Amino acid sequence: MSSLPITAIEIASAVRSGSLSAREVLDDHLSRIEEREGEIHAFNLVMVDEARAAAAAVDAIVAAGGDPGPLAGVPLALKDNLCTRGIPTTCSSRILEGWRPPYDATVVQRVNAAGAVSIGKTNLDEFAMGSSTENSAFGPTRNPRDIGRVPGGSSGGSAAAVAAGFAPISLGSDTGGSIRQPAALCGVVGVKPTYGLVSRYGLIAFASSLDQVGPFSTTVADSALLLEAIAGHDNRDSTSIDSPSPSLLESLDGGVDGLRIGLVTELMGEGIAPDVAARVRQAADALTAAGAQVGEVSVPAAAYGLSAYYLIAPAEASSNLARYDGVRYGMRVDAPTTAEMNAATRSAGFGDEVKRRIMLGTYALSAGYYDAYYGKALKVRTLIVRDFERAYADFDLLLTPTSPTTAFRFGDKTADPLSMYLNDICTIPTNLAGHPAMSVPFGGGADGMPVGVQLLAPALAEATMFRAAAVLEAAAPALDEVWS
């Protein structure tokens, strides 16, 4: 094993000072990929040539006395639903076969401009629909902690890449928990920022009103670093908040003294594995010990989040995914008429889960059903926002499990979509509210697999959330500490 620095902050600092070259860092990570990617399958594509060119460019800037930026020479993995100019972007779907975007997503532009070295496109559940990466058209990603288990999803590849040491940081997208749940299952940090804080331009849409790009990392500070680099207004995204990128690193050590933190009662009982709930209580104790006032809080509408989500997200998806019709790009299955060609292409190009959600969403928006389904779901969404507002009147942050269980085994939930959907019960409410949330590793479960605890914050309160995350990180029991 090499003795090179591991975290993004250490790497960037060493590269910027000239004591370490981006090429050395890259070679180190490529060798780790070489070693384990065969069994993990974190990537749909490892961009060896592009990464070497990017690393050389970083080294040239340093050699010329310049500053490549805050992510100088840091290898970074990109979820394969982020558009990369000239490089295949698949969403782990057959339907985008052969398509190379003519442009970079805003977040890709920003990490490149910050000196990061993009090393590959990571696997995901097709079009980010799933919680295990088992819905990828290119085969599942395996959990680096136990390759018999799923890494979570949909950003399973990005979580596994960081957990396996393929890259210290990666980008994922979170529509209903797709960053936080795999972060929890893989034992890494994962953040879903406030809706609108990070540009969605170039993120291939699943559910536009819920999707948000965010970081994965091994440390809380690295996520803060990466989020600072990608956040901030983008005039190509109308839903982008018109505010500068937040300062997270400078207040990271601020602690939680005096912060009021609420343990959400609805997400601590039925459906939550006892070992996971126990770790969350332990995390609450750690926050109390650090000076926070921890109390219980009820967010009643959160219980309906899952139902509302599985109407709103598929409804938007049914429209967002209409464009994959075989006319302009990607797969085409020829047929005598245009309509038959559309149908044949979509039948062959989409996997079962994508088809299921398109049908669900189409139904929810249909004349005669709109009010009962989509319309009602929007009302529930409003209620959830209101309940959170009430909770945040009394608390600065909320605390819940990230996932009801630790990583499960392949095939455990594929036969029953509903049991798979229940994985997102703790993460979905924040997407519906548009609030930020993050998962922080906090010891292991009864099976020795990582447990993640989730911190939730009101809109744009990322800085406070990161302070609490840093406290939890410092207090977290080791993964191999015996669970009692």
Positions marked catalytic: 79, 154, 178
Helix (H, G, I), strand (E, B) or coil at 443: strand
Stretch that binds another protein, among 56-64, 207-215, 219-227, 411-419 (CB under 8 A): 207-215
Of 318 and 423, which CB lies nearer to another protein in the complex structure? Answer: 318
C-beta pairs of 24-27 under 8 Å, 24+ apart in sequence? 25/55, 25/73, 25/74, 25/75, 25/117, 26/51, 26/52, 26/55, 26/73, 26/75, 26/117, 26/119
For another protein, which residue of 138, 166, 201, 216 counts as binding (CB under 8 A)?
201
83 binds another protein (CB under 8 A): yes
Q: What is the DSSP string of 149-181?
A: B---SSSHHHHHHHHTTS-SEEEEEESSSTTHH
Of 97 and 412, which CB lies nearer to another protein in the complex structure? Answer: 97
Query: Residue 189 corresponds to which tokens in the numbers above?
Result: 């940090």
Stretch that binds another protein, among 198-206, 261-269, 295-303, 474-482 (CB under 8 A): 198-206
Q: What is the rounded distance in angstroms from the CA atom of residue 472 to the CA atom of residue 138?
A: 36
- 240 DSSP assignment: S
User: What is the closest distance, in whole angstroms, from the C-beta atom of residue 71 to another protein in the complex?
Assistant: 22
Task: Determine contact, residues 354/136, Cβ cutoff 8 Å.
Answer: no
Task: Determine contact, residues 289/461, Cβ cutoff 8 Å.
Answer: no
Phi, psi of 367 (to 5 degrees): -55, 135
Q: What is the DSSP string of 57-120?
A: HHHHHHHTT----TTTT-EEEEETTB-BTTB---TT-GGGTT---SS--HHHHHHHHTT-EEEE
Stretch that binds another protein, among 46-54, 101-109, 141-149, 252-260 (CB under 8 A): 101-109
- 44 DSSP assignment: E
The number of residues that bind another protein (CB under 8 A) is 45
103 binds another protein (CB under 8 A): yes
379 binds another protein (CB under 8 A): no
Q: Residue 81's closest CA among 13, 151, 17, 171?
A: 171
Question: Which of the residues 222 through 281 are near another protein (CB under 8 A)?
Answer: 235-239
Q: At what angle do helices 352-365 and 305-320 cross, to 10 degrees?
A: 100
CA distances from 106 to 234, 240, 453 (A): 8, 11, 30
365 binds another protein (CB under 8 A): yes
82 binds another protein (CB under 8 A): yes
Question: How far, in whole angstroms, is CA 391 from its chain's centroid?
Answer: 25
User: What is the closest distance, in whole angstroms, from the C-beta atom of residue 452 to another protein in the complex?
Assistant: 28
Of 277 and 341, which CB lies nearer to another protein in the complex structure? Answer: 341
Contact pattern for another protein over residues 8 through 47, marking x by CB under 8 A: ----------------------------------------
Question: Which of the residues 135 through 194 are near another protein (CB under 8 A)?
Answer: none
Of 293 and 319, which CB lies nearer to another protein in the complex structure? Answer: 319
Stretch that binds another protein, among 39-47, 79-87, 270-278, 440-448 (CB under 8 A): 79-87
Of 17 and 347, which CB lies nearer to another protein in the complex structure? Answer: 347
Q: What is the rounded distance in angstroms from the CA atom of residue 423 to the CA atom of residue 172?
A: 18
User: What is the closest distance, in whole angstroms, from the C-beta atom of residue 243 to another protein in the complex?
Assistant: 15
For another protein, which residue of 47, 167, 184, 204 counts as binding (CB under 8 A)?
204
Of 280 and 360, which CB lies nearer to another protein in the complex structure? Answer: 360
For another protein, which residue of 11, 30, 91, 354 counts as binding (CB under 8 A)?
91
Helix (H, G, I), strand (E, B) or coil at 320: helix
- 348 DSSP assignment: H
For another protein, which residue of 319, 412, 447, 461 counts as binding (CB under 8 A)?
319
User: What is the closest distance, in whole angstroms, from the C-beta atom of residue 83 to another protein in the complex?
Assistant: 4
Contact residues for another protein, defined by CB under 8 A? 81-83, 89, 91, 96, 99, 101-103, 105, 200-205, 207-209, 235-239, 315-316, 318-319, 322-323, 325, 327-329, 337-339, 342, 362, 365-367, 370, 374
